[in-house]
């Protein structure tokens, strides 16, 4: 595992953005696994700046996103499709028909999950998977559980995740209670993992996930078993982990 520490949130985003940019330059038709949330915003900003400077071409890139709230359409400004369009896809020359997000409007969970597994299989494997981390160690929406999930799942969000995400909604009741998420097995099959974390409130979970026991109760801990993991954080998020490794 490689760990890079940026002085602050913006610096973290520049490091992570440069790593993704290198992937796009080295393999212009690569498959990017993408994430939403607050953490990747500075990473996406870096990618947009590089595109605007003429340093990056996304025309042959395919992307698959980790997750989507069940019940939200792509036009809903809280949906992850909307987030991706607004924060990245609308600002670069990616072919939107090659950007995939689980279908939040499919009410039949089994069908939605099967379809997304088929999408992920059809793109031929993820070259680099960007991940954030939840306060409880979740990756994508794979919450602490007695076992590691395999493929796409429909999950009930935990209260800790609802609490963490309610800041984006008008009121807590508006936060969807379920989401479609790529499974841990699929995440682990990406060729490279790039996990980003920012802020003091992630310091404890970063230490647990990368220097503690591997357990499905801390889903991100499974990444210790992946052969090519890069962790990029700001000083605050890495403060405890860097004391242990």
Catalytic residue positions, numbered:
67, 136, 138, 143
Q: Do the strands 178-181 and 153-156 form a parallel or antiparallel pair, or are they unpaired?
A: antiparallel
Q: Which stretch binds ligand F6R (CB under 6 A): 6-14, 117-125, 134-142, 152-160?
A: 134-142
CA triple 51-56-60, angle to 5 deg: 115
Q: Does 39 bind ligand F6R (CB under 6 A)?
A: yes
**Hey, what are 90's tokens?**
């609308």
Residue 220 to residue 64: CA distance in whole angstroms: 19
CB of 35 to ligand F6R, least distance (A): 4
Is the CB of 61 or the CB of 198 nearer to ligand F6R? 198
Q: Which stretch binds ligand F6R (CB under 6 A): 15-23, 136-144, 185-193, 217-225?
A: 136-144
CA triple 116-108-190, angle to 5 deg: 20
Q: How many residues bind ligand F6R (CB under 6 A)?
A: 14
Q: Does 233 bind ligand F6R (CB under 6 A)?
A: no
CA distances in angstroms from 153 to 40, 179, 181, 209, listed in the order given: 23, 8, 5, 22
Q: Which stretch binds ligand F6R (CB under 6 A): 52-60, 87-95, 128-136, 146-154?
A: 128-136
Q: Which stretch binds ligand F6R (CB under 6 A): 13-21, 135-143, 185-193, 227-235?
A: 135-143
Binding mask 166-195 for ligand F6R (x = CB under 6 A): ------------------------------
Which of 38, 109, 158, 239 forms a contact with ligand F6R (CB under 6 A)?
Answer: 38
Backbone angles phi, psi at 218, to 5 degrees: -130, 85
Residue 46 to residue 60: CA distance in whole angstroms: 19
Question: What is the H or E stretch that residue 197 is in?
Answer: strand 192-197
Q: Do the strands 99-100 and 178-181 form a parallel or antiparallel pair, or are they unpaired?
A: unpaired
CB of 133 to ligand F6R, least distance (A): 6
Within 10 angstroms of residue 238's Cβ, the number of other Cβ atoms is 25
CA distances in angstroms from 109 to 154, 162, 177, 184, 186, listed in the order given: 6, 20, 13, 18, 18
Question: What part of residues 59-88 is at the interface with ligand F6R (CB under 6 A)?
Answer: 66-67
Is the CB of 38 or the CB of 76 nearer to ligand F6R? 38
Q: Does 132 bind ligand F6R (CB under 6 A)?
A: yes
Q: Which residues bind ligand F6R (CB under 6 A)?
A: 35-39, 66-67, 132-134, 138-141
């Amino acid at each position: 595992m490689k760990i890079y520490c940026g002085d602050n949130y913006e610096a973290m985003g520049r490091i992570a953005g440069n790593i993704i940019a290198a992937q796009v330059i080295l393999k212009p038709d690569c498959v990017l696994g993408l994430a939403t949330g607050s953490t990747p915003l500075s990473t996406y900003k870096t990618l947009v700046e590089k595109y605007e400077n003429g340093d990056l071409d996304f025309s042959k890139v395919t992307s698959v996103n980790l997750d989507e709230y069940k019940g939200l359409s792509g036009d809903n400004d809280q949906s992850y499709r909307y987030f991706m369009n607004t924060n990245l896809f609308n600002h670069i020359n990616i072919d939107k028909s090659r950007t995939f997000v689980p279908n939040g409007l499919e009410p039949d969970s089994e069908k939605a999950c099967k379809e997304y597994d088929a999408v992920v299989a059809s793109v031929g494997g993820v070259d680099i998977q960007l991940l954030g981390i939840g306060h409880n160690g979740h990756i994508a929406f794979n919450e602490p559980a007695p076992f590691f999930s395999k493929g796409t799942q429909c999950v009930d969000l935990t209260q800790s995740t609802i609490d963490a995400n309610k800041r984006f909604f008008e009121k807590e009741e508006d936060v969807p209670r379920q989401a479609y998420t790529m499974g841990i097995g699929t995440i682990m099959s990406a060729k490279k993992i790039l996990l980003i974390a920012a802020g003091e409130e992630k310091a404890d979970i970063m230490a647990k996930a990368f220097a503690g026991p591997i357990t499905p109760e801390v889903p991100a801990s499974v990444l210790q078993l992946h052969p090519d993991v890069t962790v990029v954080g700001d000083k605050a998020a890495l403060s405890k982990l860097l004391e242990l490794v």
